[in-house]
Structure formats: structure tokens, C-alpha cells
Structure 1
Amino acid sequence: MTLPQRLHEQIAAAGGWLPFDRFMATALYEPGLGYYAGGRRKFGAMPSEGSDFVTAPEMSPLFGRALARQVAQALAHSGCRDVVEFGAGSGALAAQLIAELDALGAGLACYRIVELSAELRERQRERLAAWGDRVEWLDELPAALEAVVVGNEVLDAMPVQLLAFDGQVWRERGVVSAGQAFAFEDRDSPLRPPLLDPGQGGFAPGTVTEIHRQGEAFIATLARTLRRGAAFFIDYGFPEAEYYHPQRRGGTLMCHQAHRADADPLVSVGDKDITAHVNFTGIALAGQDAGFAVLGYTTQAHFLLNCGIAALLAEASLAERAMAHRLLAEHEMGELFKVIGFAPQDAAFEAMGFERGDRSHRL
């Protein structure tokens, strides 16, 4: 069975209309068929490598080395000895963190990876084989956790619901079968964006946007699970007022294939990534409501500089500096990507990554 056939089956079983979040979940994660379950390389610097996009750890090892300093501080403060990474991709970040944490003498005992993709898990095993049984894989979040948690470009890949505004009412956008292809169809729904009055004349007719119930539920579950430690998530996105700005009429849904971006998730299904920017206000509130304290929220550039990447750059070659510059440049990843940190409410601390440039007041 192909992935499109599986989706047409799901649509028929659902009465002819499938909410977009369920379509996205199947397109990305259906065992043996979904994008992340397939054999494409996905992660890489150039399309000639057969990859679809590049993430910060593939771009420069200085990303993981700088992040390791924040992780080391959190390990020391909490007394934990384990790190848990969600969605470890190619394993590049895990390799960088383990090596640097060992170099820093951070006392790392075990590095655990929660990975849904069996195919990516095998690639990670190959890349991390040097650390033997210090690296473990988990199928799901444990019932109780004492660790420092990291997630790079994880939240953006969690399925989102789509809402469409016709000038009078909001409707939920789902997917229907159109012969062998797929098409969007809007249906009545009680769902609404969290910011119903964005100002400046309100939402324009034709506006499409996303809500992030699954990502927020994940953070809430993590808050109830993490008994000791901290959590840091790096992703592209905005606070709520920017996310639902009336000029952002088309939403943020985006697909990536061969290092090209497009906004149509209904074609080449299974052959390209589907993502949405993160509403960091919703993520912060979900964490707080479930017992987390927000340690800080800032741009990737500020976070990495606070974690000492400037000193690492000074020791790097010119080629290494050029690649690492993309992590910091405002027109590259430095401004669009943000970092948010959490800790249990009774164990908050002054996290070094947010020492300067904290934007928590904008959430």
C-alpha cells in the first residue's frame, strides 16, 4: 500500500473528510509509509546530497558545543546525570552534545533519545555507536523523568489544525479525496485561534492559520512528567501577537523538499516535510498551566552568544566560522529561530542562555 492509498482509506473511514492534523500525522509518521519513516536522507547541507533541508547541528558543530554549556549548567543545578532528546534526526546534535559534555566534565551518565521513526533510529545508532550503552532509545515519554530535555526543530513537526476565516465565521480546514488527488474542504467547527482580536481591523477574509493543540499538549505532559531537571526547545516561530498578526493571512504552514519550500502539503505527499511555525506564547502557557516555570525565551543568536559561541568561533577555522555565522545572522537563523527554557516550578534557576536578550515579556 502507498501512502496516498492509506490516506484515501482514512478519509473514507472518517466519512469523507479528514481534519488536517490527522492528515499531517499520517503523511509524516505513518509506520513504513510516512515521510519520517521513509528512506530519504532528509537532513543535509545540499540538495545534491539527496537531502531536503538543513538543521543547525548539520550546519555547524558549534551549535551543539554551545548548547552543551547550557545543558551542563542545568545538569549541575538539578543534580541530574541524564539527557533526553526528542526527535534526534540524523544524530548530529546528540554526537555534539555527548562529546562536549564529556569534555566539560559534566558527569553525563546516559543520553536517551525518543524517536518515532525506526529508519532514523537506525541512522542514529550508527552515528552514536562509539558511546555504546551510554545511549538508549525510548519509544515514548517515561511516566516520570529526571533529566535535562532538549528538542531542536521538534515542535514545528507536530501536527497542527488549520482554521479558515471567510470574513464572518471560522471553519476548520480538512482534506477530502478528489479522485486520486487530495483537496481542502472547510467545515463548521467550534475551534478558534487564541487571539480573536488581533487589532488593525481584525482578520481579513480568506485568512488561514494554525492552532497547535498537539504541541501544547506535549509540553503540558512533559511538565507533569519532569520531576527534576530542565527543558530547552529550539525552533522557528513567534509570540502570539506576531503569529496571529492580521497581515499573516496565509498562516505559516510550509513544506520542504530538495531544499526548496512550498506551501502545498497535498501534493508529493510523503516525499516532503510538512511544518508550521511555533506559537511560543501557547507553548509557554501550556507549560506554566501544567507546573513549569519559564526560564527564558530569546532568539537563537542571543542564546548561543550567551552560551559562549563567540569563544568557540575564535578557535574555529574560516570555513567553520562562515557556517556558524548562519546560526547567528539575523537574516538567516539568528532571529527567526527562538529558544524557550522550562524547569519545574520549584526548581527555576538563572539559565545562562537567557542572561542577555530575554524576550519573555513579549510572550
Structure 2
Amino acid sequence: MNPKAHQPDSLPAPGPSALAQSEALVARIRADIDDAGGWLPFDRYMARALYAPGLGYYSGGARKFGLRGDDGSDFVTAPELSPLFAATLARPIAEALQASGTRDVMEFGAGTGKLAAGLLNALAALGAEFDSYSIVDLSGELRERQRETIAAAAPALAAKVRWLDALPERFEGVVIGNEVLDAMPVRLFASVDGAWRERGVVWRDGWFAFEDREVSASADTALLSEIDTGGGDYVAETHDAARAFTRTICTMLARGAAFFIDYGFPRHEYYHAQRAQGTLMCHYRHRAHGDPFVYPGLQDITAHVEFTGIAEAGVETGADLLGFTSQARFLLNAGITDALSEIDPADTARFLPAANAVQKLLSEAEMGELFKVIAFSRGLEDTLQAFASGDRSHTL
């Protein structure tokens, strides 16, 4: 194998056991390529790299979530930045539970469990009545971290938490997915000299490489025909898996609401002529780069979310589009500044880190504008306070 060209010197080298895991995954994906006739669509490569049992990034033992690269983590999420994120998100969740007359919460991709623990405590503090908090997570390693986190941070409520191996056919309550949609496998397409081709993965010269092939007719090809490439070469992702996931969740949701928080854009911004290289991005030890063939199974591979397609998928099931807005507007409407004001500014050891974290959550230069919140509902007659102003549903 010749992985050296895909292992930049700027990235720290993994240890022997992690490399062994990566090499085992490489062998499995190479076998998949052979079984597929020598060419694998990129979404299938991405699915293997992230979710191959015991070897993929999310199904293996990599640390993933943390504040710095030297702690072995690769990226930080809002719940890791500040407990005020969970404390604020709990308010629209409590409002949705009460408005729908439901008593259960379900979280997808619960990470370290910090969001779950924070929501459990915050919901209890708000007096919200709920019977269970279900977690759906493919990673056995993360499930154990979630159990430990919840037992330590919310011991009085840990008995309400359960982990699901399969989705129920019907669910009444509130669903939460923070940075879940961006981790769904995407298809890659490239327009060269005005002709669209699908980008896949081959085994060449001892390592993985991209190769483009003719596109078969599908809903995605119709979408591609609408993209203004600006007359030049263009790379774009489509989001079959994320749309299918949204349809599944909104079909399952019999009554209540579903909130998804992630980075991305409406379709007219997503497929902009100036976004000619697409949005595919990889994260390793808090360094971002664009090569999905670096350390397979040890780095995160993501793409920004195309929210118009997500909205269409949810509405197709008969669910209502409850709202769509920036993370900053959502958190401000939900009262994050009130939550911050409960910390005494004179207590600088607590207040300054909290204020800095809130600034990152709200700032247009940080997470406030890039991240969006989209929500669907069934059985709610009115909107929620978190979408009362600044709703951007009309932009989808």
C-alpha cells in the first residue's frame, strides 16, 4: 500500500493500534471495491469509513469529541463548548412537550452524553414532565461514555435514560439531532466541460483514488441540471442519506416535534456558482482538510447540509415545517442571554469562560450563522418561542 501521499506531515501520526484499525478498514473497503467491479460510489466509501462495524470512525474507538487536538479528539460541538447550550435548548423542548401533550425525548448521535445530561437536568429544573430519554447511537464506545457522563452529571435522572438498537414504528415526543445530518454519507458529482459525472473511489497505485463515471438518471441528476456552475468545473454533493433519515424520523413522529441543528445552507446558497469545490471536509486532531483518504476510520468526514432538501423530505411525510433559522437567532429567542445572566459577573472564573462560549455560539464569525436549526412537528397548533422572530423558512 502507498498511503504516504495521503498522510500530510502537518497531521500528527496515530499510534500503532489506531493504525492497525485503519489498515483493517482499508482492506475491507478495498474488498468492497473489488466486489463492486473496481469502482465504488463515494457515498458507499464514506459509509464504510464512518460506520463499518468496529472499524469505522463512529463505530470504532476514536475519541472524536474534545476541546484540543492534544487530548486525542478531532472536533468540538456546541454541548462541549458550554452547558448553556443544553440549558437553552431545553426550553423549546419543554415547550414542545407541553404543547403536544407528550412525555418522551429521543436524541440521535449523543456524543459524549453532555447534551443528554444537560437536557435532563435543565428539563427537570424547568418543571417539564417527561417519562423517558432515549438515545440512538451506533458507537458502543460512545454509549459507554454517555452512560458514565449521565451517571456522573445527572444521577437522579439516569434511570430515565435508555439506549435503542432499533427505532420504534411510532414515537410521540421530541426528537433532537445535534450535528447528525452532516455525518450522513453523501454522493459526489463533478461537472467537467459542462458534463456531470458521478465521483467514486478506485484502488490505484496502492491506495484509494477518485474516478468519475457516467451518471445514471435519478432525482439527483435532475437537481444537478439546475445548478449554475458559472461555466467552470464544479464539484457538488447530494444528500440521499440525510433526506431518507429525515423522512424516516418524520414518518415515525406521530405527535410532537423534531429539531435538527447543523451547519449548512438553503439550496440556492448551497449550490452557488462560487462554491465550486463543494463542501466535503475532514477533521483530524482539530485540523480541517479536504482529503477523505487520510487515515480511513480515524478521521471524520462531513459535508454541509443542504437544508431545502431536508425540508422537502420532512414535509413529504405530512409533517409540518415548524421553523428554520440560524443557531444564533434560535438561541437568542430561547433565552441564552437570560441563562448567562444567571451567572454572577463578579465570579470571573465562571462568568468569563461562559461568556466566551456564548459568543462562539452566537457570533456570525463562529457558529451563530453557519449553523442552522430546522424543526418539524405534528399536532402543534402554534410555533415555538425559539422561532417567533427571525424565521427563515421562506428561504428554503
Per the shorter chain, which TM-score range? over 0.9
Deviations 1:6-33 (A, max 9, x none): 1101110111111111100110011110
Counterpart code for 2:306 = N
Deviations 1:250-297 (A, max 9, x none): 000000011110011012111100000000000001111111111110
Question: 1:268 and 1:353 mapped to 2: Cα distance?
Answer: 40
Question: 1:86 and 1:349 mapped to 2: Cα distance?
Answer: 25
Let me know the Cα RMSD of the aligned residues.
1.3
Is contact 1:56-1:327 (8 Å) kept? Answer: yes
List, as ranges, runs of 4+ consecutive aligned residues in structure 1 with deviation greater than 6 Å. Answer: none
Question: 2:86 and 2:77 mapped to 1: Cα distance?
Answer: 11
Question: 1:95 and 1:178 mapped to 2: Cα distance?
Answer: 46
Greater Rg by CA: 2
Pairing 1:97–2:119 present: yes
Question: 1:70 and 1:347 mapped to 2: Cα distance?
Answer: 12
Question: 1:330 and 1:132 mapped to 2: Cα distance?
Answer: 36
Question: 1:347 and 1:224 mapped to 2: Cα distance?
Answer: 16
Question: 2:53 and 2:34 mapped to 1: Cα distance?
Answer: 20
Unaligned 5+ segments in structure 1 are none
Instruction: Report the alpha carbon displacement of residue 180 of structure 1 after superposing the two structures with TM.
Output: 3.0
Instruction: Report the alpha carbon displacement of residue 323 of structure 1 after superposing the two structures with TM.
Output: 1.5
Instruction: Report the alpha carbon displacement of residue 198 of structure 1 after superposing the two structures with TM.
Output: 4.1
Corresponding position of 1:336: 370
- Counterparts in 2 of 1:42-57, with a 5 A limit? 42-57=64-79
Is contact 2:194-2:233 (8 Å) kept? Answer: no
Instruction: Report the alpha carbon displacement of residue 75 of structure 1 after superposing the two structures with TM.
Output: 0.3
**1:192 is paired with a residue of what secondary structure?**
helix
Q: Percent identity?
A: 56
Corresponding position of 2:309: 282
Corresponding position of 1:258: 285
Corresponding position of 1:31: 53
Instruction: Report the alpha carbon displacement of residue 195 of structure 1 after superposing the two structures with TM.
Output: 5.6
2:356 to 297, 315, 322: 322
Question: 2:69 and 2:238 mapped to 1: Cα distance?
Answer: 31
Pairing 1:196–2:230 present: no
> 1:310/1:195 Cα in 2 relative to 1: closer, same or farther (>3 Å)?
farther
- Counterparts in 2 of 1:167-178, with a 5 A limit? 167-178=193-204
2:392 to 335, 359, 362: 359
Deviations 1:121-143 (A, max 9, x none): 11111111223331000112211
> 1:162/1:263 Cα in 2 relative to 1: closer, same or farther (>3 Å)?
same
Q: TM-score, normalised by structure 2?
A: 0.89
1:220 to 247, 252, 262: 247
- Counterparts in 2 of 1:76-87, with a 5 A limit? 76-87=98-109
Is contact 1:17-1:176 (8 Å) kept? Answer: yes
**2:84 is paired with a residue of what secondary structure?**
helix
Counterpart code for 2:197 = R
Instruction: Report the alpha carbon displacement of residue 45 of structure 1 after superposing the two structures with TM.
Output: 1.0
Is contact 2:135-2:162 (8 Å) kept? Answer: yes
Pairing 1:119–2:152 present: no
Instruction: Report the alpha carbon displacement of residue 166 of structure 1 after superposing the two structures with TM.
Output: 0.9
**Segment drifting more, 188-197 vs 245-254:** 188-197
Instruction: Report the alpha carbon displacement of residue 81 of structure 1 after superposing the two structures with TM.
Output: 0.8
Question: 2:92 and 2:241 mapped to 1: Cα distance?
Answer: 27
Corresponding position of 2:237: 210
Counterpart code for 2:298 = D
Counterpart code for 1:359 = R
Is contact 2:250-2:258 (8 Å) kept? Answer: no
2:169 to 143, 157, 172: 143
Corresponding position of 1:297: 324
Question: 1:63 and 1:238 mapped to 2: Cα distance?
Answer: 21
Is contact 1:193-1:210 (8 Å) kept? Answer: no
Unaligned 5+ segments in structure 2 are 1-22, 344-350
**Segment drifting more, 31-40 vs 4-13:** 31-40
Is contact 1:110-1:136 (8 Å) kept? Answer: yes
Question: 2:166 and 2:204 mapped to 1: Cα distance?
Answer: 36
**1:90 is paired with a residue of what secondary structure?**
coil
Question: 1:219 and 1:255 mapped to 2: Cα distance?
Answer: 23
Corresponding position of 2:19: none
Counterpart code for 2:390 = G
Instruction: Report the alpha carbon displacement of residue 179 of structure 1 after superposing the two structures with TM.
Output: 3.7
Is contact 1:195-1:240 (8 Å) kept? Answer: no
Question: 1:268 and 1:204 mapped to 2: Cα distance?
Answer: 35
Is contact 1:297-1:359 (8 Å) kept? Answer: yes
Aligned residues: 360
Deviations 1:217-273 (A, max 9, x none): 111111111101100000000000000001100000000011110011012111100
**Segment drifting more, 221-230 vs 202-211:** 202-211
Pairing 1:233–2:260 present: yes
Question: 1:307 and 1:23 mapped to 2: Cα distance?
Answer: 39
